[in-house]
């Protein structure tokens, strides 16, 4: 198989081909922010230094606050949890000016990092105001890195020239928001045969996002006929359920039941999407589990941390199916959102195949919440 190259790589010619493109600029900004480095974000005439709350150090926080007033960019879900915004939240981004900056640890606690329901430093009611594109870009990047969805934002006036001399990356908020809003293109980079417990003939195909993003895989079980509707399972990673056999969810039994059914029938394709914790990442999922142990349900726990209840992008699954040459599927799922997203992106879902396995006393509340609040179908 030829190594996949993203078509956009050929857009520029001559020396211009060396310059970073939109998704590459975004990947650089994400890398710097994940390390704890601030990035200079511009929006028309405005600019601000942005640093993510989770990797923030006290030294960098002190340096940032010496350049201007510090604001916390966060979602309205988190602002509701702090008492700084009336419920309910819709997922929009807010700005919360910090009268007293304090320590990086205190800001992490405000952003939900301690994952307890204990009250944090009181914030005046309605202190959070709608954020600008600068704030939306900052929170969007934090979510993309699966970190706490919060950032410190320091609007710059005269200090802009000083900040520019520090060698920090500069990026336009509009470029960030445009790149975050588009699903990165995913190309197949390798494939190899893999016999499994479900079928001795099988094949794993690995896909990689443009701009160095996460890898996802498609597992062919048996030898499905791609000219007919293919039995497909669109499965989001669950380390605790798939690997450890957690009893808190139904993921592990669903994964194994899907592969067994494919192996016992005419074959199928399991799309294993690297979207741990409905897209919030493993670290945040463990934070959400602590909150669930303290009494919140799975939806409220996500929102308490500032996330939407489901952060996944199922367009990736549609891209992978197109790349494999599959256009008609029998989809194994209880989640209507998966059917809707695949259909919107050109996949004909000719049948939904229910996948209700692995129910137990320990996950009954979790499954009932998904049915009541997230539209999942029950038997």
Rg (CA), the chain: 22
Q: Which residue from 254, 261, 303, 319 is in contact with ligand GTP, where contact means CB under 6 A?
A: 254
99 is in an annotated binding site: no
In 88-214, DSSP assigns E strands to 93-97, 129-130, 150-155, 170-172, 186-193, 202-209
Identify whether 328 is a catalytic site residue. Answer: no
362 Cβ contact partners less than 8 Å away, ≥ 6 residues apart? 247, 248
Q: What does 335 bind: Zn ion, ligand GTP, none (CB cut-off 5 to 8 Å by kind)? A: ligand GTP
Q: Does residue 333 belong to the site contacting ligand GTP (CB under 6 A)?
A: yes
Q: Is 121 annotated as a binding residue?
A: no
Rounded-to-integer distance, Cα 183 and Cα 181, Å: 7
**In terms of CB distance, is 5 or 373 closer to Zn ion?**
373
Residues 321/342, Cβ–Cβ less than 8 Å: yes
SS3 percent helix, strand, coil of the chain, rounded to 5, is 40, 20, 40
Of 358, 363, 360, 320, the C-alpha closest to 341 is: 320
What contacts 259, CB < 8 A, 6 or more positions away? 196, 197, 198, 199, 219, 221, 233, 270
Binding mask 218-237 for ligand GTP (x = CB under 6 A): -----------------xxx
**Is residue 67 a contact partner of residue 157, using CB atoms and an 8 Å limit?**
no
Under rule CB under 6 A, residue 358 binds ligand GTP: no
Closer residue to Zn ion (CB): 234 or 238: 238
Is residue 205 near ligand GTP by the rule CB under 6 A?
Answer: no
Our answer to whether residue 310 is catalytic in this structure is yes
- Mask: binding to Zn ion, 243-262, rule CB under 5 A, as x and -? ------x-x-----------
Choose the catalytic residue: 30, 95, 188, 312. Answer: 312
Check binding of 251 to ligand GTP (CB under 6 A). yes
254 annotated ligand-binding residue: yes
Among 217, 302, 303, 319, binds ligand GTP (CB under 6 A): 302
Annotated binding residues for Zn(2+): 238, 249, 251
Q: By the criterion CB under 6 A, which residues form the site for ligand GTP?
A: 235-238, 249, 251, 254, 275-278, 280, 285, 288, 298, 302, 333-335, 338, 376
Q: By the criterion CB under 5 A, which residues form the site for Zn ion?
A: 238, 241, 249, 251
């Amino acid at each position: 198989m030829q190594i996949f190259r993203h078509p956009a790589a050929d857009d520029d010619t001559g020396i211009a081909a060396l310059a970073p493109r939109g998704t590459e600029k975004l990947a650089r900004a994400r890398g710097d922010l994940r390390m704890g480095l601030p990035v200079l974000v511009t929006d028309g005439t405005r600019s601000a230094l942005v640093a993510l709350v989770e990797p923030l150090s006290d030294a960098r926080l002190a340096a940032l606050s010496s350049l201007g007033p510090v604001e916390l960019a966060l979602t309205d879900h988190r602002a509701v949890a702090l008492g700084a915004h009336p419920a309910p939240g819709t997922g929009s981004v807010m700005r919360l000016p910090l009268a007293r900056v304090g320590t990086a640890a205190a800001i992490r606690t405000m952003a939900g990092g301690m994952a307890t329901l204990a009250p944090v430093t009181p914030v005046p009611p309605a202190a959070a105001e709608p954020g600008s594109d600068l704030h939306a870009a900052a929170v969007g990047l934090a979510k993309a890195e699966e970190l706490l969805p919060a950032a410190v934002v320091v609007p710059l006036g005269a200090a802009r020239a000083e900040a520019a001399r520090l060698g920090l990356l500069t990026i336009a908020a509009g470029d960030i928001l445009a790149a975050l809003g588009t699903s990165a293109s995913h190309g197949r980079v390798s494939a190899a045969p893999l016999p499994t417990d479900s079928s001795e003939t099988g094949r794993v195909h690995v896909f990689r996002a443009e701009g160095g993003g996460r890898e996802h895989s498609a597992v062919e079980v048996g030898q499905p006929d791609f000219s007919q509707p293919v039995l497909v399972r669109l499965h989001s990673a669950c380390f605790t359920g798939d690997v450890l056999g957690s009893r808190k969810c139904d993921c592990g039994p669903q994964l194994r039941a899907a592969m067994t059914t494919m192996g016992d029938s005419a074959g199928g394709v399991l799309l294993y999407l690297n979207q741990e914790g409905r897209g919030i990442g493993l670290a945040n999922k463990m934070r959400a589990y602590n909150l669930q142990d303290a009494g919140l349900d799975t939806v409220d726990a996500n929102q308490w941390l500032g996330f939407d209840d489901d952060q996944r992008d199922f367009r990736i699954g549609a891209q992978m199916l197109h790349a494999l040459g599959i256009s008609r599927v029998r989809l194994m799922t209880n989640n209507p959102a998966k059917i809707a997203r695949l259909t919107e992106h050109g996949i004909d879902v000719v049948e939904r195949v229910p996948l209700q396995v692995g129910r137990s006393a320990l996950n009954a509340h979790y499954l009932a919440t998904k049915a009541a609040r997230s539209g999942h179908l029950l038997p």
